[in-house]
């Protein structure tokens, strides 16, 4: 969130009927509604899945290298324990974790590009009381992301698919004990079947943002 000179610039998430049933997207939609009713000048950017969040959970610490406060390293027992167990899978075991069949596509965007949109919206004439869907320059399935990791790492990798039903059941099992963990399972389940393909040609041009491809993102992190 950023507020300056009467303009409220808000970082939200992409919308989908099933996805919006989850805790974080539902909260984002409510906040967007409050902004529209507030009388403030607002700009909403609805981000697709972040490379910085999804890519490391596939089994590599490369996407979080150099990050000051990586989401996957926040002190929450469920995600922290999982990431600690899998963060070297690609490097040491040659294994990649894939959600479901790995065929659904998302327009993955890196956090730095999203931040650039937020900053450039301030005072921008086309950003007044407007909502934009934000993604990267290409729509990729997790299977395709795995091949990009192979190219960057220079090695063959083996896909380890977790069936969608595991996440669906896990969400219900965890709900009474840890709503936050159940929400993560719900997000993973939704990712196995919800596609999000955003054409960023016009929005990137409008704000002058040079979008970062998945390969360029990983190569930059790798150094």
Mean pLDDT score across all residues of the chain: 92
Task: Evaluate whether 63 touches 55 at the Cβ level (below 8 Å).
Answer: yes
User: What pLDDT score was predicted for residue 6?
Assistant: 79
Instruction: Report d(CA 76, CA 72) in Å as an integer.
Output: 9
pTM value?
Answer: 0.91
DSSP string, 181-205: HHHHHHHHHHHTT--B----HHHHH
Question: pLDDT tens, 135-150?
Answer: 999 999 999 999 999 9
Instruction: Report d(CA 216, CA 89) in Å as an integer.
Output: 21
Q: What residue ranges do the domains of the chain occupy?
A: 2-222
Task: Evaluate whether 100 touches 168 at the Cβ level (below 8 Å).
Answer: no
User: What pLDDT score was predicted for residue 2?
Assistant: 44
Query: Six-digit token pair at 29?
Result: 């939609």
Query: Six-digit token pair at 112?
Result: 């730095």
Instruction: Report d(CA 104, CA 171) in Å as an integer.
Output: 20
pLDDT tens across the length of the chain (223 residues): 444 447 999 999 998 877 778 888 899 999 999 999 999 999 999 999 999 999 999 999 999 998 777 777 777 778 888 999 999 999 999 999 999 999 999 999 999 999 999 999 999 999 999 999 999 999 999 999 999 999 999 999 999 999 999 999 999 999 999 999 999 999 999 999 999 999 999 999 999 999 999 999 999 999 8
CATH number of 2-222: 3.40.50.720
Query: Six-digit token pair at 42?
Result: 């607002």
Task: Evaluate whether 143 touches 98 at the Cβ level (below 8 Å).
Answer: yes
Task: Evaluate whether 85 touches 56 at the Cβ level (below 8 Å).
Answer: no
């Amino acid at each position: 969130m950023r507020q300056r000179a009467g303009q409220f610039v808000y970082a939200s998430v992409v919308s989908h009927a099933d996805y919006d049933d989850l805790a974080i997207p539902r909260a984002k939609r409510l906040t967007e509604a409050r902004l529209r009713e507030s009388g403030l000048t607002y700009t909403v950017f609805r981000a697709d899945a972040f490379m910085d969040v999804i890519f490391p959970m596939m089994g590599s610490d490369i996407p979080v290298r150099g990050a000051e406060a990586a989401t996957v390293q926040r002190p929450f027992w469920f995600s922290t324990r999982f990431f600690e167990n899998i963060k070297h899978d690609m490097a040491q075991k040659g294994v990649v974790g894939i959600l479901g069949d790995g065929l659904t596509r998302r327009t993955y965007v890196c956090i730095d590009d999203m931040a650039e949109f937020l900053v450039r919206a301030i005072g921008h004439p086309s950003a007044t009381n407007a909502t934009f869907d934000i993604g990267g320059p290409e729509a990729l399935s997790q299977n395709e992301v795995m091949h990009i990791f192979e190219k960057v790492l220079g090695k063959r990798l083996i896909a380890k698919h977790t069936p969608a039903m595991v996440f669906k059941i896990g969400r219900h099992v965890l709900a009474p004990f840890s709503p936050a963990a159940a929400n993560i399972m719900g997000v993973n389940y939704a990712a196995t079947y919800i596609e999000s393909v955003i054409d960023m040609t016009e929005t990137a041009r409008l704000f002058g943002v040079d979008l970062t491809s998945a390969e360029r993102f990983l190569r930059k992190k790798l150094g």
